[in-house]
Amino acid sequence: MKDAEGFARHWQKAEELGRRTTLVDWPQRWHVAQARVKQDEGDFAAALDLLDEAQRVYVKNPVPNLRPVAALKAQVYLRQGHLSKAQAWARARGLTVNDDLIYLREFEHLMLARVLITENRITQALALLHRLLAAAEAGQRIGSMLEILIVLALAHQAHGDTAAALAALERALALAEPEGYVRTFMNEGEVMRLLIADFRFRIEKRGSREGQNLIGYVDKLLVAFGKSADVDSAAFTPALRAGASVVRPLIEPLSPRELEVLQLISQGLANQEIADRLFLALSTVKGYTRTLFDKLQVQRRTEAVARARELGLL
């Protein structure tokens, strides 16, 4: 965290103010907030412990609970790779893609869409997400639209439809830019970073004014992800700098997604493991692998890794 001291100061102030509040559900809110921090740090066990405590101290009150702790735990399960636990939560809640959609259960249905994506049931996830988006648009709920569009972008990407993924992402960015959302995108991890980087690159390739107003915001997000926003810097090599010397030997430069698959191949992951890690269909990963081999002019994984290292891709 770039401003650890500032974060600690605000965190302490929030706790002090919370202890003086008359909100009966403040202890639950506080534990949920702490769990979110732990989740973002990758400490999933601590996050789950805090959510269990949040559930224990919850006091029913007139304010509707729009983000039930059980749904938040399902989110952590997916981040952990424990799909079966998230599936068990969805079954226990009786969630289906054909449910009548109401705002009080919007977050749960959004979590169901994430479960469906992880299960590679992308078509069903997309149908649910489009229904959720229509309901949010009808209610003019900008925050809901933003969250849904982000998951929609990930669903399209998992389906291998990069054009649709980038279109959904562009809408999300346009909604988020005026308020300066950052963490909402960062919480989606490396898959989102690569998608944003791809969007940045495509704006440059357009050569028109379309999307130019978002460049500053996109650069801010990429910096927040820990990467330089300068497309001429090392942060965008080799996937995004088609003219860079490190990738000149290639007939065609690797896309951000192909580079990500290559990185996972170099770690020894099988195609199914890569599919699970990136929330992609197995057939999509195989397609990326074939394209990688063609671009690198190799026939086997070991050759691909060796060739990539020669080119400075790994």
Q: What was the pLDDT predicted at 244? A: 32
Write out the DSSP string of 9-43: HHHHHHHHHHHH---TTHHHHHHHHHHHHHHHTT-
| pLDDT exceeds 50 at position 311 | yes
Closest to 26 in 3D by CA, of 57, 56, 71, 52: 57
Residues 251-306 have pLDDT tens digits of 567 777 888 899 899 888 889 999 988 888 898 999 889 888 888 888 888 888 88
Q: What was the pLDDT predicted at 250? A: 60
Q: How far is CA 217 from the centre of its chain?
A: 17
As a whole number of angstroms, the distance between CA 204 and CA 210 comes to 10
With contact defined as beta carbons under 8 Å apart, do 143 and 103 qualify? no
Q: Where are the domains of the chain?
A: 6-63, 237-314
Q: How much is the CA Rg of the chain, to the nearest whole Å?
A: 21
Tally Cβ neighbours within 10 Å of residue 38: 18
160: left (phi over 0), alpha (psi -120 to 50) or beta: left
Q: What was the pLDDT predicted at 207? A: 63
| pLDDT exceeds 70 at position 201 | yes
With contact defined as beta carbons under 8 Å apart, do 180 and 199 qualify? no
Q: What was the pLDDT predicted at 80? A: 87
Q: What was the pLDDT predicted at 247? A: 35
Q: What was the pLDDT predicted at 211? A: 66
* CATH (residue range 237-314): 1.10.10.10
Q: What was the pLDDT predicted at 147? A: 97
User: Pick the residue with more confidence: 30 or 3?
Assistant: 30
